[in-house]
Amino acid sequence: MTSTEHNQPIGGHKKHTPLTRLSGNFGRDEWAIVGGYCTTIKLLADQVIGALSPQYKCAYADTSHNDEVVSLPGRLSSGAVLEYTDQINHQQYNYTTQITPFRQRQLFAEADMILVNGNHQPAKAQVVIIDLNKKASLQKRLEQLTNVELFLLADNVDEIFDFIKESIPNWQQIPVYRLNETDKIIAFFAEKLQQAKPVLNGLVLAGGKSTRMGFDKGSVDWHGKPQRYHMADILKNLCNEVFISCRSDQEETNAQYATLEDTFIGLGPYGAILSAFREKPDCAWLVIACDLPLLDMKTLQYLVDNRDPSKLATTFGNGYEGFPEPLITIWEPKSYSVLLAFLAQGYSCPRKVLINTDVHLLTAPDTNVLTNVNTPEELEKIKAILKQTTTAI
């Protein structure tokens, strides 16, 4: 049986579950700079990264030209497959094992922008340098020019090569700058990254069994409707799409609210977050628990306004120990692979993920709104607070 035959559906059955796959060789937003000398590409990458790194996590990929190095460094020469060195101001990993495309994407997962020396490695999008001295070399790389987004003219040319025009039908719609117009080039990448900001969806966590409460916490009527609907209505003002997370055995009868069934079973809120990313991995998710009766539009608007997409997540400190509140959090797409990695090591606590990763931690305008309700006793206390608030109004 050939590999092609092996993957053919039998009787309509598909061998693999259809999932949205991450595009790119390194990450979501990557550009190969091709057509210039390697020193020119490195200098351009330095200029762009230097300008954008205060706002975005930037990465660079290249291949070494040092052909004289034939022996392995450090303990790799003794047979180690991996050597880690803490260099104080940076960390260094040396491998002997081949970095596959799958591992490569994991390593670059937290980068917002990846620049690649296209003379050695391809990328999803390309920036093409038009340099007379590299004309023959560029002509050999035409197959790599699958998604050109910018042309840069070197000092020795005034227009794009004819073979480029013949190979790229839409070449006239692609912006053209001089290679020394650094400000324009940086602005180009800044605009691209702004356009690539992940869409924000909302997720109301209502799939818990409410064991301590004794009944469904999401059904409590704090504000004129069941709390899960109240929270979903607030999120509709802030998010592109809003879903109510639920278990497979829960019945949702209100057709006005979209649901998202847990596909990571038995993991509580952690599984709900992973299920959301499995459904829409390129979106950010504003995740809200359904047991936060004091949480209001003002607080969530503050969270959204102060969102930092370059971080793994944007969240509030809880006001007590200062620990992050994982269930009032914007989880960026880059957190998906990190959540899975923590799970693979036996951890299913979203707070532990936030504590041990690079997140944007905010102080809520009013920390009282972060109070959650898990027991009948806590429910009565919050009822009293809400009653006082209503009376005062």
Q: What is the pLDDT of residues 360-391, one digit of tens each?
A: 999 998 888 887 776 656 665 665 666 665 54
* Alpha-carbon distance values, 172 to 31, 47, 76, 138 (Å): 20, 26, 50, 19
User: What does the pLDDT read at residue 211?
Assistant: 44
Supply the DSSP symbol for 9.
-
Contacts of 226 (CB under 8 A, 6+ apart): 218, 219, 220
Percent of the chain predicted with pLDDT > 70: 83
Interatomic CA distance for residues 357 and 252, integer angstroms: 35
Average pLDDT over residues 166-184: 97
Side-chain half-sphere exposure of 30, counting CA atoms within 13 A: 27
> Is pLDDT at 12 greater than 80 in this prediction?
no
Q: How confident is the model at residue 252 (pLDDT cuts 50, 70, 90)?
A: low
> 116, 124 in Cβ contact below 8 A?
no
Mean pLDDT of the chain: 87
Count of positions (residues) in the chain: 393
Name the residue with tokens 């994407």.
105
Most confident of 52-61, 70-79, 84-93, 221-230: 52-61
In this structure, what are the phi and psi dihedrals at residue 239, rounded to the nearest 5 degrees? -125, 160
Q: How confident is the model at residue 294 (pLDDT cuts 50, 70, 90)?
A: confident
Weakest-pLDDT range from 15-24, 54-63, 75-84: 15-24
> 29, 56 in Cβ contact below 8 A?
no
Contacts of 298 (CB under 8 A, 6+ apart): 365
pTM for the model stands at 0.88
Q: Give the H or E element holding residue 33.
A: strand 30-34
Q: Compute the C-alpha angle 29/52/198, nearest 5°.
A: 40
Interatomic CA distance for residues 350 and 345, integer angstroms: 13
User: What does the pLDDT read at residue 379?
Assistant: 62
User: What does the pLDDT read at residue 139?
Assistant: 95
> Is pLDDT at 215 greater than 80 in this prediction?
no
The closest of 70, 72, 69, 68 to 83, measured between CA atoms, is: 72
**One-letter amino acid for residue 316 of the chain:** F
The closest of 353, 348, 299, 300 to 324, measured between CA atoms, is: 353
> Is pLDDT at 320 greater than 70 in this prediction?
no
Most confident of 16-30, 84-98, 210-224: 84-98
Interatomic CA distance for residues 368 and 386, integer angstroms: 12
DSSP 346-386: T---HHHHHHTS--EEE--SSGGGG----SHHHHHHHHHHH
Interatomic CA distance for residues 92 and 81, integer angstroms: 14
Characterize the bridge pairing of strands 91-95 and 360-362: unpaired
User: What does the pLDDT read at residue 352?
Assistant: 96
> Is pLDDT at 92 greater than 70 in this prediction?
yes
Q: How confident is the model at residue 1 (pLDDT cuts 50, 70, 90)?
A: very low
**One-letter amino acid for residue 214 of the chain:** G
Q: How confident is the model at residue 331 (pLDDT cuts 50, 70, 90)?
A: very high
**Radius of gyration of the CA atoms of the chain, in A:** 26
> Is pLDDT at 210 greater than 60 in this prediction?
no
Interatomic CA distance for residues 363 and 374, integer angstroms: 23
Weakest-pLDDT range from 140-154, 204-218, 264-278: 204-218
Weakest-pLDDT range from 33-42, 60-69, 176-185: 60-69
> 164, 130 in Cβ contact below 8 A?
yes
Interatomic CA distance for residues 325 and 243, integer angstroms: 20
The closest of 280, 213, 289 to 245, measured between CA atoms, is: 289
Tokens of 50: 């230097």
Average pLDDT over residues 162-173: 95
Q: Which domains are present in the chain? A: 30-64+73-195 (3.40.50.300), 200-392 (3.90.550.10)
> Can you tell me whether residue 388 is helix, strand or coil?
helix
Q: What is the pLDDT of residues 97-136, one digit of tens each?
A: 888 888 999 999 999 999 999 999 999 999 999 999 999 9
